[in-house]
Amino acid sequence: MSECQKVLFETQGNVAVITLNRPEQRNAIDAQTCIQLRDAIERFENDGQLHVGVLRGNGPVFCAGMDLKAFSNGEAEAILFGPGRLGGLVSRSRTKPIIASVKGAALAGGFELMLACDLAVATHSAIFGLPESKRGLIAGAGGAFRLGQILPKAIANEILLTGDAISADRAAALGLVNKLIEEASVDEEAIKWARKISFNAPLSVRSSLQLAKCSGCMGEERFWELSDVLLRDLLQSADAAEGATAFAEKRKPVWTGN
């Protein structure tokens, strides 16, 4: 398998299975992975024979978020601000449902990719979180305001401000995950759900999805504008550089507030 294949694309009938393929890097998103994921989402959306997608990660982890080494090497703009933003997914206008199949950790941008999907199944051992506040950043790929739309304010603030991860059981109880399942069966379960949906009338599915999204999308563009302004400022900050460096050096960051 080519080293360049950081995102895999396969079809099973009317279902597209999109796989993040950087298991040694916990499927973290660098610029090339972002481009390949964006291309995969475009391929899925534009293929009239494909009705439902599944997003999964190769290996024991779904996705650890933005690759902080790539961030330190100047790839942040390409990763976070291209068409559709992170992975070409988090802010892309879509017509077809995507199901996240989550093993292990869905953290930072990985959690935001999951939140951008329409349904999610996960293993009992999965964990979810937005640790950006521990790295001098914000959850600028939609996580900050999507959590606020889904959860009570106090719970959303807890996850955002502490940066601590939550368990699969708690995520399911909060309505962030549709179903918890054993690890060996999670991808199979996601594909089963996708097939079930793909059996329904495509136009009905798309129209239903569009109506469901409208209930929470009023004013979303304003959220993106503010999120981008804040994120760009933070990406240039000393604390953001310190967060990435401390993570790479496996030490506690020393924040300066600059």
| SS3 state of residue 52 | strand
pLDDT on residue 1: 41
Q: Residue ranges of the domains in the chain? A: 7-183
Helix (H, G, I), strand (E, B) or coil at 214: helix
Contact 140, 80 (CB under 8 A): yes
Candidate list 42, 112, 183, 220, residue with the active-site label: 112
Cα separations in angstroms, 99 against 54, 67, 122, 189, 205: 5, 23, 10, 10, 14
Instruction: Please give the pLDDT value at position 254.
Output: 85
Collapsing DSSP states into helix, strand and coil, what is residue 210? helix
pLDDT in tens, the chain (258 residues): 445 799 999 999 999 999 999 999 999 999 999 999 999 999 999 999 999 999 999 999 999 999 989 988 999 999 899 899 999 999 999 999 999 999 999 999 999 999 999 999 999 999 999 999 998 888 999 999 999 989 999 999 999 999 999 999 999 999 999 999 998 899 999 999 999 999 888 888 888 888 787 665 556 777 788 788 888 888 888 888 988 898 899 898 888 878
- Neighbouring CB atoms inside 10 A of 250's CB total 6
Catalytic residue among 45, 75, 132, 189: 132
Chain position carrying tokens 């240039």: 236
CB 181 within 8 A of CB 143: no
Nearest Cα to 20, choosing from 87, 98, 68? Answer: 87
Which residue type sits at 92?
Answer: R
Return the CA Rg of the chain. Answer: 17
Q: Which CATH architecture has domain 7-183?
A: Alpha-Beta Complex (3.90)
Determine whether 182 is an active site residue. no
The answer to whether the CB of 187 falls within 8 A of the CB of 56 is: yes
Q: How far apart are CA 221 and CA 73, in angstroms?
A: 29
pLDDT of residue 216: 58
Give the type of residue at 151.
Answer: L
The verdict on whether 221 is a catalytic residue reads no
* pTM, entire model: 0.89
